[in-house]
Amino acid sequence: MVILKNKNLGAFIADLKKSQIMLGKNINDIPPMVRDFLASFSRDKFSIAAPGKDWNCCDGNWDENLPTRQLINIGADGNLFIITYKTGGIGVMTHLVLLRYNDDKIIDFWAGIGRNDLKTTAQVLKYLATNKNKHLELNTNIITV
């Protein structure tokens, strides 16, 4: 309920404002502890394709050998990590995940719905601040990664 009611989102927004995170697109920049943490919530060990690479986007020609997500952006600064990616199904959904970590341990996270056009930290901040108090805007009644 902490995530669904955005109770920890204010602290993430404050940390993002202080950060120097630059968003990039290199899938190899996802730290192993982040990948392992996200894999613990997914059925497919958090399979993810690099931007522009093939992935299982939508209904139709599902290929079990392809990832079920496609990276949009990632970034990190100190103990803060951000990732946006797409998942498919009936349509495409964009996810936004914020993680706080200490050494090699995830200590807090927030997950919600993002947008494809969030290309900078400033755009992410504006999007989160604008929508954090809108019912079912940043998340539905379910948490997915």
Which residue shows structure tokens 């943490």? 37
Please identify which residue in the block is written with the tokens 């901040």: 125
137 in a domain, yes or no?
A: no
Is there a domain that residue 136 lies in? no
145 inside domain: no
Residue 140, in any domain of the structure: no
Provide the domain limits for residue 32: 9-131
On the question of pLDDT at 32 being above 90, the answer is yes
Domain count for the chain: 1
pLDDT confidence bin for 143, thresholds 50/70/90: low
Is position 143 within any domain? Answer: no
- State pTM to two decimals: 0.91
- Tell me the backbone φ, ψ of residue 17, rounded to 5 degrees: -60, -35
120: in domain: yes
pLDDT digits (tens, 9 = 90+) for 46-90: 999 999 999 998 877 788 899 999 999 999 998 999 999 999 878
Place 142 in a pLDDT band, splitting at 50, 70 and 90.
Answer: low
Average pLDDT over residues 130-145: 78
**pLDDT for the residue 141:** 61
Q: 98 falls in which pLDDT band (50, 70, 90)?
A: very high
pLDDT(145) > 90: no
Residue 142 within any structural domain of the chain: no
